[in-house]
Amino acid sequence: MTTQKLRHLIEPEDFSLDELNHLIALGEEIHAAPEKYSEACKGKILATLFYEPSTRTKFSFETAMLRLGGSIIGFSDANTSSVSKGESIADTIRVMSAYADVAVMRHPKEGAPKLASLYSSIPIINGGDGGHQHPTQTLTDLLTIQTFKGSIDNQVVAFCGDLKFGRTVHSLIRTLARYNIKKFILISPEELKLPELLKRTLVDVYQVELMEVKTIEEVVEEIDILYMTRIQKERFFNEADYARLKDSYIIDKAKIQKAKQDMIIMHPLPRVNEIAYEVDTDPRAVYFEQAKLGVYIRMALIMKLLEVA
Amino acid sequence: MTTQKLRHLIEPEDFSLDELNHLIALGEEIHAAPEKYSEACKGKILATLFYEPSTRTKFSFETAMLRLGGSIIGFSDANTSSVSKGESIADTIRVMSAYADVAVMRHPKEGAPKLASLYSSIPIINGGDGGHQHPTQTLTDLLTIQTFKGSIDNQVVAFCGDLKFGRTVHSLIRTLARYNIKKFILISPEELKLPELLKRTLVDVYQVELMEVKTIEEVVEEIDILYMTRIQKERFFNEADYARLKDSYIIDKAKIQKAKQDMIIMHPLPRVNEIAYEVDTDPRAVYFEQAKLGVYIRMALIMKLLEVA
Amino acid sequence: MTTQKLRHLIEPEDFSLDELNHLIALGEEIHAAPEKYSEACKGKILATLFYEPSTRTKFSFETAMLRLGGSIIGFSDANTSSVSKGESIADTIRVMSAYADVAVMRHPKEGAPKLASLYSSIPIINGGDGGHQHPTQTLTDLLTIQTFKGSIDNQVVAFCGDLKFGRTVHSLIRTLARYNIKKFILISPEELKLPELLKRTLVDVYQVELMEVKTIEEVVEEIDILYMTRIQKERFFNEADYARLKDSYIIDKAKIQKAKQDMIIMHPLPRVNEIAYEVDTDPRAVYFEQAKLGVYIRMALIMKLLEVA
């Protein structure tokens, strides 16, 4: 029994750079020999509290806990929970604390996982809160870069697509800024540019080199990491704008022909059509491996929060 | 292979006082050393058949089974089950008997778990049937009283709120009446008083001392156990009656100032606003511990029904 | 690490007769001593991808995997999955391949599991695709016949009810035709007769003896296996036709009085009213045992596909 302070993961900033690097290193070790960890969390229970649907994140966490020998309780739809009886998040989490050892929460409202962490007696992981944060996607992305590029430092990282609303992108950019990134390239239409405030923070606080362009073609040759994002219909005020823009930031074989041979193409998935299917067989396409690495980093995270790492 | 008769828990009366006390004692032992039971039900499967939503009861059962080393199948929504194809409860339970080792059923219709038990070849636990019974909540309440008061006998037990419709209250009162309760105090508005028939049974059959009042204040000093209940909107014919009554039976710090220092405040949860949040930090508030004890008593119950206790 | 080709089960024809017989034999061994297999798939994960509801098939697979010591991830409703974000089946299965070791898919569209298998890096089991195939029901039926009749060969097999739309029936008939069935008897109303093409295949390709009748009574004395099916309301163009036909192919005690003492009555379940409840206690009624055998054959199948058999 330690009296150590309970740790949560609400946003990537909750972890120091040292802690992030330890997590990534543990993720690599698990990747190399997952069977060594198959009983690391035996007897432990993860609660998956999904107030909005998310196959991918939910399954990734469930797989991570099962691969550690633990088990799962949870819901994937707030309508089949006590929420419909008017229970507060504070009460829900206090009761879940009586059942589980660690919980992941996805919620449509920004700040809900933070609120939960204030009342919880078990570690809370933010599984995505509105347009705000998605820190375990960021961890997944870091492990992917480390795995395929050997280092997070000294890379030219390009983000393409919806840079305005994508919480995945904001979370990752903020975190990469804490490393020694060589250059950020932002590829997006005028309407979906990275928010001004975030750009200012990057330049003023982190002194990163930033470059904004409108097309992939003009920068493709210098990119080390190409991070693609989905352009979501629901982000647009009208159908016409969506139709005009959605295809502009699609990559296909032709567009990446001049790219470096060791460039990697990442995507948080689900993909709709922003990456042509023909790209899937290109060795530079690592987005499905990225999904797999998401399991390993979540295994590392759960171990850390349960203090078995 | 024993030829012992299959046991179910449909209502608390299915167990003798001796059996209840054995269950409570086992619940206390599990509470004291849960890790001793972590493989008690290894290889066994619990089916959770929830024909209406209930986060709390479902998760409590799932946690109980997982903490015993067993596993879970089940549904939390009748629409994703064969029920939508017109299958009878009798057939559903016969098929579930082919899959699982024990089942818990929640159903909006009174008597559904009883019906299921008649066709089942595995033990059936009633997880709540309409306004009728909720026996594992009663078991949870008994273990909570035993844990915090050292004994179920010789207590002054007050029930506050909706005493007319609350199945939790009826189930617990009937069961406590089989013990040597010093006095029952019923605190409710005229519209939500305990049903006359139940009162008559308590007095005539069990010879308990009964007292009915309209406010907490007039009796708070003599209460050992204050059992709060939620006043449900859906129980009222019109919005105005609900609005007028819902706040009348709220407790806050002021209302319990004169209460005994070792009084305990219980609540089956979810709570809406019948207990002010400021009460949560009062050492007399045990409702979140009560939720945790619900796991231990369910572990004891599952062990008993599977004959591994 | 073997370089063996990945195996899937999309339709019964994917397995040779030898392979089917090995599976059935393994199913019998598991039935005889299930505890011997309780850790056969320890550490393995089954993904249950149910794009339409199915209690029975889903629970049967989940039970099978849990009884093998493995665990489960999955969904029972496409609305709580990424499908609602427009993800293709190809992408979903590639991501699920990153999480699970084997997957079962039920889908309303014919061919969906086949499509999934083309993109999957883990074995895919067809859990029912539209009106097309339901191969694990067929395996269940084969094990049931083997268990209760001692052999699949030399039986007189009668199918009763909806022989036009029932995928269960088509799948089983095609597979039985590969054995030495003595005679097929088809009992159905004119409107629900076995499709002409399938009949022609049976006679021309497999040289089976086929007999078509309108009532159970005229053939009941010579039947070894009576396979009953549900007449589904949704298959009819109008309510009147359904009402007129649905009761015509109901069996009760009277109808089977002249049947052989060792005839068996099978049904894929759920049953609505095509078998009177009074038949349930007849020793010839084996449909609930059939449901149980479905778990054992699925255990055998999962073991085979994961190459632990």
Q: How far apart are the C-alpha atoms of C55 and A46, rounded to whole Å?
A: 24
Tokens standing for residue C132: 């097309």
Q: CA of B7: how far to CAs of B122, B129, B130, in Å?
A: 8, 18, 22
Quick one: which H or E segment has residue B266?
Answer: strand B264-266
- The residues of C carrying an active-site annotation are 56-57, 85, 106, 134
What percent of chain C is modeled with pLDDT above 70? 95
Residues of C in contact with B69 (CB under 8 A): none
Burial degree of B181 (CB within 10 A; 0-12, 13-18, 19+): buried
If asked whether residues C181 and C253 sit together in one domain, one would say yes
Residue C291 has pLDDT above 60, yes or no: yes
Provide, as residue numbers in chain C, all residues whose Cβ is less than 8 Å from the Cβ of B87. 269-272
Number of other residues whose CB lies within 10 A of the CB of residue A53: 22
Q: Are residues C121 and C144 located together in one domain of the fold?
A: no
Q: Which residues of B112-128 are buried (b: 16+ CB within 10 A; e: fewer)?
A: bbbbbbebbebbbbbbb
d(CA A40, CA A181): 34
Question: Could you give the number of structural domains in chain A?
Answer: 2
Q: What is the rounded CA–CA span in Å between residue C82 and residue C118?
A: 20
Residue B156 CB: number of other CB atoms within 10 A?
19
User: Residue B1's pLDDT is what?
Assistant: 39
pLDDT above 90 (res C92): yes
B281 a catalytic residue: no
The domain that holds C248 is classified in CATH as 3.40.50.1370
Looking at residue C82, its amino acid is S
- Strand order across the A183-187 sheet: A210-213, A183-187, A156-160, A225-228, A264-266
Q: Which chains touch B (3 or more CB pairs under 8 A)?
A: A, C
* CA torsion through residues B227, B230, B236, B241, sign: positive
Of A80, A92, A96, the CB nearest to B77: A80
Q: What is the ipTM of this complex?
A: 0.93
Residue-range definition of the domain harbouring residue A166: 136-287
Contacts of A269 in chain C (CB under 8 A): 82, 87, 91, 95
- My answer on whether C33 and C130 are in the same domain is yes
Distance CA C6, CA C24 (A): 21
Of A53, A66, A67, the CB nearest to C84: A53
Residues from A in contact with C at Cβ < 8 Å: 35, 38, 50, 53-56, 59-60, 62-63, 66-67, 71, 76-77, 269-272, 277, 288-289, 291-292, 294-295
Contact B108, B266 (CB under 8 A): no
How far is it, in rounded angstroms, from Cα C44 to Cα C122?
12
Which among C63, C71, C271 has CB closest to B91? C271
Distance between start and end Cα atoms, chain B: 16
Domain membership of residue C230 (yes or no) is yes
Closest CA to B158 of B233, B245, B255, B246: B255
Contact (Cβ atoms closer than 8 angstroms) between residue B308 and residue B12: no
Query: Does residue A105 lie in a domain region?
Result: yes
The pLDDT value recorded for residue C178 is 96
What stretches in chain B show pLDDT beneath 50?
1-3
Using a CB-CB cut-off of 8 Å, the residues of chain C touching B103 are: none
CB contact under 8 A, A90 and B277: yes
The share of chain B scoring above pLDDT 70, in percent, equals 95
Residues of A with Cβ-Cβ distance to C82 under 8 angstroms: 53-56, 269-270
For A99, nearest residue in chain B (alpha carbons): B63
Q: Are both C87 and C153 inside the same structural domain?
A: no
Inspect the interface and report whether the beta carbons of C55 and B90 lie closer than 8 Å.
no
Q: Say whether both A51 and A64 belong to one domain.
A: yes
pLDDT for the residue A176: 97
Asked whether residue C100 falls in the same domain as residue C162, the answer is no
Q: What is the pLDDT of residue A79?
A: 62
* Dihedral (Cα; A170, A276, C82, B96), 10-degree rounding: -140
Residue B170 appears among annotated catalytic residues: no
Q: State the pLDDT at residue A220.
A: 96
Q: Which residues of C touch B91 (CB under 8 A)?
A: 269-271
Neighbours of chain A (3+ CB pairs under 8 A): B, C
Q: Which residues of C are annotated as a binding site for carbamoyl phosphate?
A: 56-57, 106, 134, 137, 269-270
Here the tokens at position C97 are: 């391949």
- Judge contact between C96 and C50, C-beta under 8 A: no
Cβ proximity of B124 and B147 under 8 Å? no
CB of A93 within 8 A of CB of A104?
A: no
Cα torsion C36, C40, C43, C46: sign:
negative
Q: What pLDDT, on the 0 to 100 scale, is given for residue A62?
A: 98
Are B119 and B164 in a shared domain? no
Measured CB to CB, residues of chain B less than 8 Å from chain A are 35, 38, 50, 53-56, 59-60, 62-63, 66-67, 71, 76-77, 230, 269-272, 277, 288-289, 291-292, 294-295
Query: Out of B58, B106, B149, B298, which one is annotated catalytic?
Result: B106
From the list A71, A86, A99, the residue facing B272 with the nearest CB is: A86
Kindly report each contact of residues C31-36 with a partner whose C-beta sits within 8 Å and lies 24 or more positions away, as own/partner: C31/C143, C31/C147, C31/C293, C31/C296, C34/C67, C34/C296, C34/C299, C35/B43
Q: What is the DSSP letter of B157?
A: E
Residue with tokens 């922003």: A274
Residues of A involved in catalysis: 56-57, 85, 106, 134
Residue A7 domain-assigned (yes or no)? no
A95: nearest CB among B35, B56, B67:
B56
Is A56 close to C95, i.e. CB distance below 8 A?
A: yes
In a domain? residue A74 = yes
Q: Give pLDDT, residue C6.
A: 94
Distance, in Å, from the CA atom of C191 to the CA atom of C241, rounded to the nearest integer, reads: 9
**Active-site residue, from B56, B233, B244, B253:** B56
pLDDT at C1: 39
Task: Judge: B59–A45 Cβ closer than 8 Å, yes or no.
Answer: no
Name the residue among B75, B85, B98 with its Cβ closest to that of C288: B98
* Numbered residues of the known binding site of C for L-aspartate: 85, 167, 230
Residue whose tokens read 């990945």: C6
Residue A2 lies inside a defined structural domain of this protein: no
As given in the structure block, the two tokens for residue B14 are: 């299915």
Rg (CA), chain C: 20
**Is B129 found in the same domain as B187?**
no
Output the pLDDT for position C238. Answer: 79
pLDDT of residue B239: 81
- B111 and B148, same domain (yes or no): no
Q: Do A59 and C43 touch (CB under 8 A)?
A: no
Sheet order of strands, C225-228 included? C210-213, C183-187, C156-160, C225-228, C264-266
Tell me, yes or no, whether B272 and B184 share the same domain. yes
Helices B89-99 and C287-305: crossing angle, nearest 10°? 40
User: 3-class secondary structure for chain C?
Assistant: CCCCCCCCECCHHHCCHHHHHHHHHHHHHHHHCHHHHCCCCCCCEEEEEECCCCHHHHHHHHHHHHHCCCEEEEECCHHHCHHHHCCCHHHHHHHHHHHCCEEEEEECCCCHHHHHHHHCCCCEEEEEECCCECHHHHHHHHHHHHHHHCCCCCCEEEEECCCCCCHHHHHHHHHHCCCCCCEEEEECCHHHCCCHHHHHHHHHCCCCCEEEECCCCCCHHHCCEEEECCCCHHHCCCHHHHHHHHCCCCECCCCCCCCCCCCEEECCCCCCCCECHHHCCCCCECHHHHHHHHHHHHHHHHHHHCCCC
pLDDT at A1: 39
pLDDT tens series, chain A, 309 aa: 344 689 999 999 999 999 999 999 999 999 999 999 999 999 999 999 999 888 889 999 999 999 999 999 998 876 655 555 678 999 999 999 999 999 999 999 999 999 999 999 999 999 999 877 899 999 999 999 999 999 999 999 999 999 998 888 999 999 999 999 999 999 998 888 999 999 999 999 999 999 999 999 999 999 999 999 987 777 677 788 777 777 778 999 999 999 999 999 999 998 888 999 999 999 999 999 999 999 999 999 999 999 998
- Long-range contacts of B197-206, Cβ-Cβ distance < 8 Å, separation of 24 or more: B198/B170, B198/B173, B198/B174, B201/B174, B201/B177, B202/B173, B202/B174, B202/B177, B205/B177, B206/B177, B206/B178
Whether residue A275 sits in one domain with residue A149: yes
Count of A–C CB contacts within 8 Å?
A: 68
Beta-carbon separation of C270 and B100 below 8 A: no
Residue B9 is given by DSSP the state B
Asked if residue A4 belongs to a domain, the reply is no
Query: Would you say residue B282 lies in a domain?
Result: yes
| Tokens standing for residue B219 | 């009796």
| 3 state DSSP class of A102 | strand
- Residue A163 has what DSSP assignment? T
Selected for mutation to probe chain A from C42, C68, C79, C80 (highest A CB count within 10 Å) is C80
Residue of chain A whose Cα is closest to the Cα of C99 = A63
Interchain CB distance below 8 Å, C76 and B75: yes
Q: Are A62 and C73 in contact (CB under 8 A)?
A: yes
Length of chain A in terms of residues written: 309
Judge residue A121's burial from the number of C-beta atoms within 10 Å of its C-beta, 0-12 exposed, 13-18 middle, 19 or more buried.
Answer: exposed
Return the axis-axis angle of helices B55-67 and B135-149, rounded to nearest 10°.
70
Does A55 fall in a domain?
yes
Residue of C128, C143, C135 lying closest to C290 (CA atoms) = C143
Is there a single domain that holds both residue C127 and residue C153? no
Residues of A in contact with C103 (CB under 8 A): none
Determine which of B44, B95, B96 to mutate to test the interface with C (most C C-beta atoms within 10 Å): B95
pLDDT, tens only, B81-103: 555 567 899 999 999 999 999 99
